Amino acid sequence: MTGDCPSNLGDYSKSVKEKSVVNLQGGLNTMAKARGKVAFNEDLCKGCELCTTVCPVNIIEMDRTRINIKGYHPATVKEMDKCIGCGNCATICPDVVISVEREMEK
Ligand code: SF4
Ligand code: SF4
């Protein structure tokens, strides 16, 4: 009887892992996607670039073509359709330049 244990546990463990994968994949397939819209109060931006370091989809950059009232190149988002609305950029900005609107896609 004890000889069966490792094999049974192994089968059980394998079965649980397989079910987990199936459940995870099912969950991912049905999970709603989030979309975000980011707005910059750009004259408050001091060009520290912190927000560019925390975006998981790398869509924040400094706009080298413009200079704000403080004399800095302001942060901007070029591909807003890629924003997932995580809010990281707004959270890290020390000067409260950024606001994020988040909505779920249907
Ligand atoms: S809300 Fe998130 S995904 Fe959108 S720009 Fe900010 S850090 Fe990037
Ligand atoms: S973190 Fe804020 S102040 Fe710094 S570059 Fe980004 S928007 Fe500008």
Q: Which atom of ligand 2 is nearest to the CA of 50?
A: 1
Q: What is the pLDDT of residue 33?
A: 86
Looking only at Cα atoms, what is the longest distance across the chain? 79
Per-residue pLDDT of the chain (106 residues; tens, 9 = 90+): 444 444 554 554 444 344 433 334 444 445 678 999 999 999 999 999 999 999 999 999 999 999 999 999 999 999 999 999 999 999 999 999 999 999 987 6
DSSP, collapsed to helix, strand or coil, labels residue 90 as helix
Q: What is the pLDDT of residue 75?
A: 98
Q: Using CB atoms within 10 Å of the CB of residue 100, give its burial: 0 to 12 exposed, 13 to 18 middle, 19+ buried.
A: middle
The protein residue with its alpha carbon nearest to ligand 1, atom 5, reads 83
Same domain, 27 and 38: no
Domain count, the chain: 2
> Considering the entire predicted model, what is its pTM?
0.74
Same domain, 50 and 81: yes
Q: What is the CATH number of the domain that holds 63?
A: 3.30.70.20
Range of the domain at 8: 1-31
CB of 18 within 6 A of ligand 2: the answer is no
Ligand 2 centroid distance, CA of 78 (Å): 15
CB of 38 within 6 A of ligand 2: the answer is no
Which residue among 41, 43, 48 has the greatest number of ligand 2 atoms within 8 angstroms of its CB, and so is best to mutate?
A: 48
